[in-house]
Structure 1
Amino acid sequence: MAALTARDLMTPDVVTVPPDMPVQAVARLLADRGISAVPVLDREGTLLGIVTESDLLRRLAGEEDERRGWLAGLFADPSRAADRYARTHGTTAAEVMTTQLVTVPEDATAAHIAHLLEERRIRRVLVVREGRLRGIVSRADLLRALTAPPDRQEERLSDERIRRAILAAMRKEPWVDTFHLSVEVREGVVELHGFARDQATRRALRVLAETVPGVREVRDLTQPLPAYLYLMP
């Protein structure tokens, strides 16, 4: 998965709209194409923003906004209120679009993109090169990273290299007690021996081993950590 990049995952033929397209036409375009967002480009191809389903729903919901009283207006942020008014009453793509864009270069890894989607709580990122739109990577596109076949070079890794890689990964994690654990690898099959503190640790150890290149199977043969070992420093 780490080898896959935005260039591999992105949808390159992106449907775009001009900034002066009416909101109703944008909504119809999304419905007809079965897509959830469209980037907004000017005549020179410069990326200006993106109109998403959320932007359109926000505009629709804004039709029932109640007018604030004068007292509430004293404590409101005028800039935020003005921005919300424009986006909920705008009639063109430029007026309702999201301008705070999350973009990545074409060589951004799948892991980095997934981190951005999770951290920013968004559904897609725009792929750009020198300010020009090259494609879009959505959550659905990232699923391809999870189902991608493993690198064939991983199959040629020796058992000893796999074992060392697992031990190295374990030493980086504060929750792993390597003193009470041992790792054996035979033809890509990993066996975990020793003692694990609890069920969560056993599950995490399995996940850790499974992510190491070349691992074909993980067998958890660990046992619960004896009570007397809890008292050891």
Structure 2
Amino acid sequence: MPRLSARDLMTTEVVTVPPATPVLSIARLLADRGISAVPVLDGSGKLLGIVTEADLIRRLAGEADHPTSWLGSLFASAERDAARYARTHGATAADVMSTDIASVEPTTPAAEVAHMMEDRNIRRVLVVQDGRLLGLVSRADLLRALVAPTQQPMDLSDDRIRTAVIAAIRKQPWADTFYTLVDVKDGVVEINGFSRSTEVQRALRVLAENVPGVKSVEDRTTPMPAYLYAAG
């Protein structure tokens, strides 16, 4: 993946709303613009929170809440229940917005942004600096990191490429360096030796393909004999 940052990927034209915006207006705004969230900014431009489709759905679901049972009240938290009530019955952006904002700095690498989205199962992250909103990176924006043109690889010698491939293999706990032999001819990596599994060999191929200077990878391994499995 190209070494892009959040600044390179972010959309700077972000639709925002002030905290006093009515919930119904936000719902219409999301529908009309075909977007799934709007950041909430105060009068000075400071980021306060974000209202997402999930927040609006939560509010709609809150209208159907039933009174807490006697047993449930024994384990209830007044603060938590009060916060939920405000968010599910509030009339403005300030009432229903999420303040636990997934945000990154403009220099955050694209890979870290992707990890955050995957770990938190979210669709976008806000790019913030000194409390100010600079932009937004969505899943669609991340795809640009995959298709962005990369720099042309340096014309490295076969020996340097082989050294780099072996060094990369040794960093991976799943790689079997004892039975894996690497050779390089005219930029083509040849992987010889014994193979423990197709998954490991596929990962080795991908690893080698990502080493600068590698033109292609040829897997010439054979299945590991049973006696070697027993020895291991």
Q: Above 0.5 in TM-score? A: yes
Q: Deviations over 1:159-205 (max 9, x none)?
A: 33332221111101122111211222334332211111112211221
Match of 1:208 in 2: 207
How far apart, CA to CA, are the structure 2 residues paired with 1:56 and 1:158?
58
Q: Does 1:172 align with 2:171?
A: yes
SS in structure 2 of the partner of residue 179 of structure 1:
coil
Q: Tell me, which stretches of 5 or more residues in structure 2 are unaligned?
A: none
- Where do residues 148-227 of structure 1 align in structure 2 (5 Å cutoff)? 148-152=148-152, 154-227=153-226
How far apart, CA to CA, are the structure 1 residues paired with 2:133 and 2:40?
10
Q: Structure 1 residues 157 and 3, CA, compared in 2 at 3 Å: closer, same or farther?
A: farther
Count of aligned residue pairs for this structure pair: 232
Match of 1:33 in 2: 33
Match of 2:10 in 1: 10
Q: Structure 1 residues 129 and 157, CA, compared in 2 at 3 Å: closer, same or farther?
A: farther
How much has 1:2 moved relative to structure 2? 4.6
SS in structure 2 of the partner of residue 16 of structure 1:
coil
How far apart, CA to CA, are the structure 2 residues paired with 1:183 and 1:7?
38
How far apart, CA to CA, are the structure 2 residues paired with 1:159 and 1:101?
48
- Where do residues 1-233 of structure 1 align in structure 2 (5 Å cutoff)? 1-152=1-152, 154-233=153-232
How far apart, CA to CA, are the structure 2 residues paired with 1:12 and 1:163?
43
TM-score (norm 2): 0.94
The answer to which of 65-74 and 218-227 deviates more is 65-74
SS in structure 2 of the partner of residue 13 of structure 1:
coil
The answer to which of 182-191 and 14-23 deviates more is 182-191
Residues 125 and 136, structure 2, Cα contact 8 Å, conserved in 1: yes
Q: Deviations over 1:77-107 (max 9, x none)?
A: 2222111111111110111001011211111
How far apart, CA to CA, are the structure 2 residues paired with 1:187 and 1:105?
41
How far apart, CA to CA, are the structure 1 residues paired with 2:162 and 2:181?
10
Residues 2 and 109, structure 1, Cα contact 8 Å, conserved in 2: no
Q: Deviations over 1:110-146 (max 9, x none)?
A: 1111111112222211111111110111111111111
How far apart, CA to CA, are the structure 2 residues paired with 1:90 and 1:24?
11
Q: Structure 1 residues 199 and 168, CA, compared in 2 at 3 Å: closer, same or farther?
A: same
Q: Tell me, which stretches of 5 or more residues in structure 1 are unaligned?
A: none
Q: Deviations over 1:139-158 (max 9, x none)?
A: 11111111122222x24343
**One-letter amino acid matched to 2:110:** A
Dislocated runs of 4+, deviation >4 Å: none
How far apart, CA to CA, are the structure 2 residues paired with 1:159 and 1:225?
27
SS in structure 1 of the partner of residue 206 of structure 2:
helix
TM-score (norm 1): 0.93
Residues 160 and 185, structure 1, Cα contact 8 Å, conserved in 2: yes
Q: Structure 1 residues 21 and 158, CA, compared in 2 at 3 Å: closer, same or farther?
A: farther
SS in structure 2 of the partner of residue 48 of structure 1:
strand
How far apart, CA to CA, are the structure 2 residues paired with 1:157 and 1:136?
38
The answer to which of 126-135 and 181-190 deviates more is 181-190
